[in-house]
Amino acid sequence: MTTFVQDAPSTGNPYVEDRVLRAFLKRVLPESVLDRIDPGLSRFGERVVHEVEGLGRMAESAPPVHVPFDAWGNRIDRVDVSGAWLDLERISAEEGLVAIGYERSHGPWSRIEQFVKLYLFSPSSAIYACPLAMTDGAARLIEVYGDVWLKENILPRFTTRDPSRFLTSGQWMTERTGGSDVGGSLTVARLEADGYRLYGNKWFASAVTAPVAMTLARTEGAPEGSRGLSLFFVEALDERGKFRDIQLIRLKDKTGTRALPTAELELAGTRGRLVGDVGHGVRKIATLFNITRVYNTIVAVSFMRKAVALAKDYAHRRAAFGSLLRELPAHLETLASLEVACRGGFALAFRLAELLGKEETGEASSGEKALLRLLTPVCKLFTARQAVTVVSEAVECIGGVGYLEESSMGPLLRDAHVLPIWEGTTNILALDTLRALRKEDAYGPFVHDATQRLESSSAPQLTQAIARVRDALHALDTYMERAAGEPPEFHQAGARELAIALAETYAATLLIEHANWALSCGLDDAAVLAARRWCSGLRTAWTIPDVAHRAVSRALGLDEPMFSSPARAPCP
Ligand code: MFK
């Protein structure tokens, strides 16, 4: 019988061990803010290891159950979630995972403290980040559009640290007509004697045990499309936790996010409180989904960091071919590329957090506001795709055991796949990038911000990398000039590559800025190496989606004929 047993990979306090995170905080935060938050983050890192990690595993292994009827045949539609899921809610409140962003004790830096905590929490929390994202988005909606009642009675409960008062919110946006084309929503809002009542079907309602939700419905007689939709606040559950005029059709059997109850709901005269005026529901709810898209970005980079930390640790333990994995050149190349990817994604995610904090506290310039609007879809789409690739590669680094449910990699791999779908797919966000460029004129602020970062970085070790980024910026300029006279099909076909190029180029400028700082204070050598490697891989030219290119895509994508014979002749 073999006696060989391999050590399992493990990680310690995710705050203490994350050099990239700590260096970033040291560079960006005023010293007084860092001094105030550092002990709390170290403590929370311990709590993640010793408490959250175990609860996350328990919640994963005890998914929610829908109990449609009681023993006597009464429709009850109860959703039973695990005790671990409820504990994750309690911890979220105690730790202020939503509250910190609204207490604003550190002004614009509060969003950074909050998102660092989310980053530490989310990869171990069975995606409890999802209800937090929607609650945060709903809180911001109330700040921007809510009436006095919502501001006095609901907002304080979204943003409390008292678990007994903490309220989470759902966001019911997706209908059978589509998660992307929200303007086609069919739910109707009828003005009855006691106010608006909603009738319709919500096809993907996540965190369905949240007592309240934000949703869209069309008032009677309102025009078609997104402008005819209105935004409503719904008190979905009564004091006993029972649905009010809502039938739960079924819980979704999802590939991942297993602990999170996502349901199909039938709204059968559900009371809705109008948020803001009638109409323009999509424009309003964009305030919410721009917040959840920032969450998605932070969650993506947190998944990457955890998966890569485990893969790196394993390389020190696992022996094969007579040496540890860390000595194998091919494996080392993989680990290095994963590290570079993590650093690029991290830089984007926390720049977004920084901009959001500034905007919400009135400290953002008009250029920074436009940049935030542009970077929100860009960072979400880029990091979500990165997370799928990086987590998958990290699982491969661990091998067969990484593919087992028992290893913590399984849930990460499954959950990573929701990131490019939830809150807007990659293509929808690429189109939103075009919307931001068009409506906010955001390209000028983007170039200005990127160029400033390069100009403030003068370390000779970065000269070549900086030259490469300048080439990438030049290529972007060339594309934008060419695109200016082209029809919508050109813009749409090129949107995804454009958004990715914006993300890669902007991340390069952030990595260079960070590396320049690291050199100046003798910290984190890897910052310089990562910046150089990221920049060496930057694309400085890409596909031009002109008529010929689109014709080929049509032939390939739809199996349509393109050439006349003989190319079309059947194979002999
Ligand atoms: C983690 C657990 C997950 C569990 C499983 C979940 C599985 C997945 C379930 C899902 O279905 S997730 C899908 C969630 N859905 C979304 O995130 C929406 C995706 N679709 C979009 O974002 C579309 O781009 C959009 C609905 C906005 C398109 O709507 P329209 O009406 O065709 O676009 P239009 O007319 O350009 O925009 C309407 C208004 O909104 C405009 O303002 P005005 O009325 O002032 O002109 C836009 O400027 C504004 N707007 C749109 N996007 C915006 C925005 N404003 C600010 N920021 C944005 N991002």
Q: What confidence tens digit (pLDDT) does each residue in 410-437 have? A: 999 999 999 999 999 999 999 999 999 9
Count of structural domains within the chain: 2
Least confident of 168-177, 198-207, 518-527, 560-569: 560-569
Alpha-carbon distances, residue 319 vs 73, 204, 322, 323, 562 (angstroms): 59, 45, 7, 5, 53
| Mutational test site, ligand 1, from 226, 253, 412, max ligand atoms within 8 Å of CB | 226
Cα of 289 vs centre of ligand 1, distance in Å, is 7
| Cα 412 from Cα 422, distance rounded (Å) | 15
| Final residue before a domain boundary, out of 279, 309, 333 | 279
User: So what's the pLDDT on residue 282?
Assistant: 96
Question: If pLDDT is split at 50, 70 and 90, which confidence band does 525 have?
Answer: confident
> Is the pLDDT confidence value at 311 over 80?
yes
Question: Residue 535 contacts by C-beta under 8 Å, 6 or more apart in sequence?
Answer: 464, 465, 466, 468, 469, 508, 511, 512
> Is the pLDDT confidence value at 257 over 70?
yes
Residue nearest atom 39 of ligand 1, based on CA coordinates: 283
Cα of 277 vs centre of ligand 1, distance in Å, is 19
Alpha-carbon distances, residue 356 vs 120, 133, 305, 431, 563 (angstroms): 19, 14, 22, 21, 51
Place of tokens 């940049």: 371
Cα of 210 vs centre of ligand 1, distance in Å, is 22
User: So what's the pLDDT on residue 564?
Assistant: 66
Cα of 446 vs centre of ligand 1, distance in Å, is 22
For residue 366, the surrounding DSSP H or E stretch is: helix 366-398
- Residue 400, in any domain of the structure: no
What is the CA angle 41-43-46, rounded to 5? 110
Residue nearest atom 7 of ligand 1, based on CA coordinates: 422
| Mean pLDDT, rounded, for 52-58 | 96
Atom of ligand 1 nearest to the CA of 182: 26
Cα of 494 vs centre of ligand 1, distance in Å, is 20
> Is the pLDDT confidence value at 570 over 80?
no
Cα of 284 vs centre of ligand 1, distance in Å, is 10
Cα of 235 vs centre of ligand 1, distance in Å, is 23
| Mean pLDDT, rounded, for 338-365 | 98
| Cα 442 from Cα 436, distance rounded (Å) | 6
Residue nearest atom 32 of ligand 1, based on CA coordinates: 183
Residue nearest atom 27 of ligand 1, based on CA coordinates: 282
Q: What is the pLDDT of residues 316-326, one digit of tens each?
A: 999 999 999 99
Task: Please name which of 384, 378, 383, 388 lies closest in space to residue 429, comparing C-alpha atoms.
Answer: 378
| Mutational test site, ligand 1, from 284, 435, 438, max ligand atoms within 8 Å of CB | 435
- Most distant CA pair in the chain, distance: 79
Atom of ligand 1 nearest to the CA of 423: 17
User: So what's the pLDDT on residue 567?
Assistant: 52
Cα of 232 vs centre of ligand 1, distance in Å, is 16
Question: If pLDDT is split at 50, 70 and 90, which confidence band does 3 have?
Answer: confident
User: So what's the pLDDT on residue 353?
Assistant: 98
- Our measurement of the distance from residue 256's CA atom to the centroid of its chain's CA atoms, rounded to an integer in Å, reads 15
Domain that holds residue 456: 442-556
Q: What is the pLDDT of residues 124-146, one digit of tens each?
A: 999 999 999 999 999 999 999 99
| Mean pLDDT, rounded, for 448-472 | 97
Strands 212-219 and 188-192: parallel
Atom of ligand 1 nearest to the CA of 133: 1
- Half-sphere exposure at residue 309, Cβ-oriented, CA atoms within 13 angstroms: 22
- Residue 413, in any domain of the structure: no
Residue nearest atom 34 of ligand 1, based on CA coordinates: 226
Mean pLDDT over each residue of the chain, to the nearest integer: 95
Residue nearest atom 52 of ligand 1, based on CA coordinates: 286
First-residue to last-residue Cα distance in the chain: 57
| Cα 4 from Cα 373, distance rounded (Å) | 54
Residue nearest atom 36 of ligand 1, based on CA coordinates: 435
Would you state the structure tokens that stand for residue 97, as one six-digit string? 């995972």
Place of tokens 């719904």: 234
**What's the CATH code of the domain at 176?**
2.40.110.20
Question: Residue 152 contacts by C-beta under 8 Å, 6 or more apart in sequence?
Answer: none
| Mutational test site, ligand 1, from 282, 297, 356, 435, max ligand atoms within 8 Å of CB | 282
Task: Please name which of 519, 558, 511 lies closest in space to residue 536, comparing C-alpha atoms.
Answer: 511
Q: Enter the pTM of the model.
A: 0.97
Cα of 373 vs centre of ligand 1, distance in Å, is 13
Q: Output the ligand 1 site: residues, CB below 6 A.
A: 127, 130, 173-174, 179-180, 182-183, 204, 206, 226-227, 254, 257, 260, 262, 280, 282-283, 286, 289-290, 418, 421-424, 428, 432, 435, 439
Task: Please name which of 543, 544, 562, 566 lies closest in space to residue 552, comparing C-alpha atoms.
Answer: 562
| Single-letter amino acid, residue 233 | F
| Cα 202 from Cα 215, distance rounded (Å) | 9
> Is the pLDDT confidence value at 445 over 60?
yes
User: So what's the pLDDT on residue 301?
Assistant: 98
- Residue 224, in any domain of the structure: yes
Atom of ligand 1 nearest to the CA of 424: 17
- Residue 434, in any domain of the structure: no
> Is the pLDDT confidence value at 405 over 90?
no
Residue nearest atom 40 of ligand 1, based on CA coordinates: 283
Question: Residue 559 contacts by C-beta under 8 Å, 6 or more apart in sequence?
Answer: none
| Mutational test site, ligand 1, from 181, 182, 373, 415, max ligand atoms within 8 Å of CB | 182
Residue nearest atom 12 of ligand 1, based on CA coordinates: 422
- Residue 265, in any domain of the structure: yes
Residue nearest atom 3 of ligand 1, based on CA coordinates: 422
Residue nearest atom 50 of ligand 1, based on CA coordinates: 283
- Residue 414, in any domain of the structure: no
| Mean pLDDT, rounded, for 537-554 | 92
Cα of 142 vs centre of ligand 1, distance in Å, is 18
- Residue 89, in any domain of the structure: no
The residue count of the chain comes to 572
> Is the pLDDT confidence value at 9 over 70?
yes
Cα of 213 vs centre of ligand 1, distance in Å, is 17
- Residue 305, in any domain of the structure: no
Atom of ligand 1 nearest to the CA of 179: 11
User: So what's the pLDDT on residue 57?
Assistant: 95
Cα of 400 vs centre of ligand 1, distance in Å, is 39
Q: What is the pLDDT of residues 138-173, one digit of tens each?
A: 999 999 999 999 999 999 999 999 999 999 999 999
Q: What is the pLDDT of residues 63-97, one digit of tens each?
A: 999 999 999 999 999 999 999 999 999 999 999 99
